[in-house]
Amino acid sequence: MKNNTMLKGAAAIVLGGALLLGGGGTLAWWNAADSAAAGTISAGELNVKAGAGVWKDRSGSTVNLSTYKVVPGDKLTYTQDLDVTLTGDKMAANLVAVNADAGAGFTPENVVITAPTLTVGGVAIENPLTTSQHVTASISFEFKSTTTGTADVNATKNLGTVGFTLQQVTQTGLQ
C-alpha cells in the first residue's frame, strides 16, 4: 500500500506542475510587447552620365585621334560634359580620369597627362563633388618638347578609352 500512496503522490505532483506550467495555475512570466514606428531607410544615388567627348589641340582645333600624329611639343585636351548625380546625406565623390596614363605606349618621362580640371558653367570647381550637377571635365595629354633624339617615334597609346568615373569619398569633417 505504501507504493500505491507514493504513486498517487507522484501523480498529484506531476498534475499540479502541468497545471501551473500550462497556464491553469498562478505561475506567470510577465512580458509585454509594442511596436515602434522606426521609419524606412532609403539609399542615395551616385551616378555619372557622359556626353560625347572631344579632343582639341593647342589652337582649339578638333583632333581626330585615329589620324592625328603627335610630335614633341603637342598638347591635346580631352573635354567631356558629364551629368553627375549625387544624392544622400553626406554624399561626396571625386571625379577622376580612367585609362589616362602614359604607360603602355609612350615613355612616361616624355609625356604629361594632367589630372581632370572641372568646371560648372565655365567656373572652376574642385573635388570632391557634393551635389548633383552638370560638370565639364578636361584632361590634357602633352608630348613634352624636351623629348630628345627619336624617343617615342611611332609610339602609340590608345586614348580612345579615356573617360571619367565617380569614386565615393567621405566628406571632410563628417563621419
Q: Are 113 and 140 in contact (CB under 8 A)?
A: yes
Q: Has residue 109 been placed in a domain? A: yes
pLDDT tens column, 11-33: 667 666 666 666 555 556 888 88
Domain CATH code at residue 68: 2.60.40
pLDDT at residue 28 in the model:
66
**For position 147, what pLDDT does the model report?**
86
In the chain, % of residues over pLDDT 90:
44
Assigned domain for 5 exists: no
Cis peptide before 128 (omega within 30 of 0): yes
Mean pLDDT calculated for residue range 78-106: 88
Domain that holds residue 50: 45-150+157-168
> Domain for residue 90, yes or no?
yes
DSSP result, the chain = -HHHHHHHHHHHHHHHHHHHHTTSSS------------------EEEEEEEEEEEE-TTS-EE-TTT----TT-EEEEEEEEEEEEESTT--EEEEEES--STTTS-GGGEEEPPPEEEETTEEE-SSB-S-EEEEEEEEEEE-TT--TTTTTT-----TT-EEEEEE-PPTT--
Does residue 30 belong to any structural domain of this protein? Answer: no
Q: Look at residue 8 and tell me if it is in a domain.
A: no
Is a pLDDT exceeding 90 seen at residue 106?
no
Reported as a pLDDT band with limits 50, 70 and 90, residue 105 is confident
Asked whether residue 131 is assigned to any structural domain, the reply reads yes
The confidence score (pLDDT) of residue 171 equals 78
Whether residue 35 is contained in a domain is answered as no
pTM metric for this prediction: 0.71
- The total number of structural domains in the chain stands at 1
Residue type, 29: W
Domain for residue 142, yes or no? yes
C-alpha cell at 154: 611611332
**pLDDT for 108 beyond 80:** yes
pLDDT band at 100 (very low <50, low <70, confident <90, very high): confident
**Residue 3, pLDDT score:** 66
The predicted structure's pLDDT at residue 102: 63
Q: Which of 8-12, 49-53, 130-134, 171-175 has the highest mean pLDDT?
A: 130-134
Distance of CA 32 to CAs 29, 37, 167, Å? Answer: 10, 17, 47
Tens digit of pLDDT for each residue in 136-159? 999 999 989 998 888 788 888 777
